[in-house]
């Protein structure tokens, strides 16, 4: 006959619930202290009948849209019990994600290692180190995944794995995700439901969140994903073959990947474009001048893609609104995209694109 053996409630087997409790409070506190990011509405006199909106993700405390992702990945790791008191947190990153994750690791008192390509900008490396993170460099962008996995194994730590988890760590139905925020900020506009939202893919996570939300809310908005010159996503989307790779590293930081990342969800994308790097950088220059502050290269990719869609709408005589993102600030790229010598040594001539973009914004003519 078995007896009921009382559990010794003073000694639970899992001892770190109090750390978890405090960690969630710290993450909630960060969110509570933050305001929503602005949805800018610059006026371009050539674009009659069209409204353009830019969701300014550069204004997060860590300077990019990766602040949202890092918050979500830590929350996901903690709520799944993968991240506990003292867990070493490891990530494979081309830079921006690691900056934001280093910030949250410091907030939570966790050791953080970023695995990055050696070509990552000095400014990002300094930011990671300022937040107490350690940088581990690899020679080729394609080597980051394995190195991060190995470091996590060796330290008994947790690999955040943004490229796999970006699409699932974010609450795609709402909970103040970026899509819900955009649509609610648009509510009082002349064309409150955008015809197009444009986004460039890095993990593919932001595009996945927006595309899913559009379908979930039954909205007519279409999602256009604007890829860059050296990246696997565009060819994979067009051919349907998700195993395609691109050995040449992307020159637009934050976007373009050597492989199709698991967080890239082709089924929620309505259209894809491939933007030449010179056009992305030219668009970043033009937009920076029009906004009186510098935006990053991927924002240029977004904006050039938006201009192409706007040109298509003008051609069809349609009115409406288009939305894209300012992914990060151009201040991080003073010695690259905004440096004449860098452009020359990379054989990037932005002048012809620049002229075309300016003429389009001022006259509506696209040539
Ligand atoms: C990550 C990133 C993107 C792409 O966002 P995903 O959600 O990862 O696809 C665009 N621009 C910058 C600067 C980024 O860091």
- Report the C-alpha gap between 186 and 12 in whole angstroms: 49
Pocket test for ligand 1, best of 71, 72, 96 (most atoms within 8 A of CB): 96
Pocket test for ligand 1, best of 98, 226, 327, 336 (most atoms within 8 A of CB): 327
Q: What is the pLDDT of residue 234?
A: 98
Q: What is the pLDDT of residue 181?
A: 98
Task: Give Cβ neighbours of residue 316 (< 8 Å, ≥ 6 apart).
Answer: none
Nearest CA among 69, 108, 58 for reference residue 91? 69
End-to-end CA separation in angstroms for the chain: 88
Residue 1 banded pLDDT, cuts 50, 70, 90:
low
**Cα-to-centroid distance, 326 and ligand 1 (Å):** 10
Q: What is the pLDDT of residue 339?
A: 97
Residue 201 banded pLDDT, cuts 50, 70, 90:
very high
- Collapsed DSSP state (helix, strand, coil) of residue 86: coil
**Cα-to-centroid distance, 94 and ligand 1 (Å):** 10
**Cα-to-centroid distance, 363 and ligand 1 (Å):** 31
Residue 280 banded pLDDT, cuts 50, 70, 90:
very high
**Cα-to-centroid distance, 5 and ligand 1 (Å):** 54
Tell me which H or E stretch contains 199: strand 196-199
**Cα-to-centroid distance, 110 and ligand 1 (Å):** 24
| Neighbour tally for 268: CB within 10 Å | 20
The percent of residues above 70 in pLDDT, for the chain, comes to 99
Average pLDDT over residues 112-125: 89
Average pLDDT over residues 47-60: 97
Task: Give Cβ neighbours of residue 106 (< 8 Å, ≥ 6 apart).
Answer: 112, 131, 132, 133
The sheet that has 134-138: what strands, in order across it?
134-138, 112-117, 89-92, 158-159
Q: Burial, 315: exposed, middle or buried (Cβ in 10 Å; 0-12, 13-18, 19+)? A: exposed
Task: Give Cβ neighbours of residue 157 (< 8 Å, ≥ 6 apart).
Answer: 87, 88, 89, 90, 111, 113, 151
Q: Is 132 left (phi over 0), alpha (psi -120 to 50) or beta?
A: left
- What is 66-166's CATH number? 3.40.50.1100
Q: What is the pLDDT of residue 331?
A: 92
Q: What is the pLDDT of residues 148-196, one digit of tens each?
A: 999 999 999 999 999 999 999 999 999 889 999 999 999 999 999 999 9
Look up residue 81 and give its DSSP letter.
T
List C-alpha distances in Å: 356 to 1, 132, 263, 299, 306: 86, 44, 34, 17, 14
Q: Is the pLDDT of residue 16 over 80?
A: no
Ligand 1: which atom is nearest the Cα of residue 299?
11
For the chain, the average pLDDT equals 95
**Cα-to-centroid distance, 65 and ligand 1 (Å):** 7
Q: What is the pLDDT of residue 105?
A: 98
Q: Is the pLDDT of residue 12 over 80?
A: no
Ligand 1: which atom is nearest the Cα of residue 253?
13
Domain covering 35-63+172-363, topology: Rossmann fold (3.40.50)
Higher pLDDT, 19 or 2: 19
**Cα-to-centroid distance, 68 and ligand 1 (Å):** 11
Residue 364 banded pLDDT, cuts 50, 70, 90:
very high
Q: What is the pLDDT of residue 66?
A: 97
Average pLDDT over residues 325-342: 95
Q: What is the pLDDT of residues 87-107, one digit of tens each?
A: 999 999 878 899 999 999 999
Task: Give Cβ neighbours of residue 307 (< 8 Å, ≥ 6 apart).
Answer: 283, 357, 360, 361, 366
Ligand 1: which atom is nearest the Cα of residue 96?
15
- Report the C-alpha gap between 168 and 148 in whole angstroms: 20
Listed by start position, the domains of the chain span 35-63+172-363, 66-166
Average pLDDT over residues 13-28: 90
Q: What is the pLDDT of residue 123?
A: 83
Report residues whose beta carbon is within 6 angstroms of any ligand 1 atom. 64, 66, 96, 166, 200-207, 254-255, 296, 298, 327-328
Do 35-63+172-363 and 66-166 show the same overall fold? yes
Helix/strand/coil (H/E/C) assignment for every residue in 244-271: CECCCCCCCCCCCCCECCCCCCHHHCCE
Residue 3 banded pLDDT, cuts 50, 70, 90:
confident
Q: Are strands 222-228 and 134-138 parallel, antiparallel or unpaired?
A: unpaired
Task: Give Cβ neighbours of residue 1 (< 8 Å, ≥ 6 apart).
Answer: none
Shortest-distance Cα residue to atom 2 of ligand 1: 254
Task: Give Cβ neighbours of residue 287 (< 8 Å, ≥ 6 apart).
Answer: 295, 299, 300, 303
Ligand 1: which atom is nearest the Cα of residue 297?
13
């Amino acid at each position: 006959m078995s007896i009921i053996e009382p559990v010794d409630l003073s000694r639970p087997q899992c001892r770190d619930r109090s750390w978890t409790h405090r960690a969630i409070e710290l993450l909630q506190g960060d969110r509570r202290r933050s305001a929503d990011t602005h949805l800018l509405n610059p006026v371009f006199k050539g674009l009659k009948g069209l409204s353009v909106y830019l969701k300014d993700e550069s204004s997060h405390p860590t300077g990019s849209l990766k602040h949202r992702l890092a918050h979500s990945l830590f929350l996901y790791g903690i709520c799944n019990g993968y991240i506990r008191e003292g867990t070493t947190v490891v990530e494979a990153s081309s830079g921006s994600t690691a900056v934001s994750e280093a910030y949250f690791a410091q907030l939570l008192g966790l050791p953080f290692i970023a695995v990055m390509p050696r070509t990552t900008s000095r400014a990002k490396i300094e930011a990671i180190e300022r937040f107490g993170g350690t940088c581990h460099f690899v020679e080729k962008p394609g080597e980051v995944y394995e190195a991060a996995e190995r470091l996590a194994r060796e330290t008994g730590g947790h690999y955040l794995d943004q490229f796999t988890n970006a699409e699932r760590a974010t609450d795609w139905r709402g909970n103040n995700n970026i899509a819900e925020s955009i649509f609610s900020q648009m509510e009082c506009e002349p064309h409150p439901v955008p015809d197009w939202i444009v986004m460039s893919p890095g993990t593919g996570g932001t595009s996945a969140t927006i595309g899913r939300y559009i379908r979930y809310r039954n909205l007519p908005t279409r999602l256009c994903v604007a890829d860059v010159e050296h990246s696997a996503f565009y060819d994979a989307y067009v051919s349907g073959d998700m195993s395609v790779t691109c050995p040449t590293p992307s020159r637009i930081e934050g976007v373009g990947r050597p492989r199709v990342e698991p967080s890239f969800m082709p089924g929620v994308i309505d259209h894809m474009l491939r933007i030449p790097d010179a056009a992305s950088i030219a668009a970043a220059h033009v937009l920076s001048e029009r906004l009186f502050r510098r935006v990053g290269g991927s924002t240029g990719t977004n904006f050039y893609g938006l201009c192409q869609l706007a040109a298509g709408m003008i051609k069809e005589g349609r009115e409406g609104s288009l939305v894209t993102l300012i992914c990060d600030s151009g201040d991080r790229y003073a010695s690259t995209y905004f440096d004449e010598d860098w452009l020359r040594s990379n054989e990037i001539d932005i002048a012809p694109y620049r002229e075309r973009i300016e003429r389009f914004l001022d006259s509506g003519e696209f040539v």
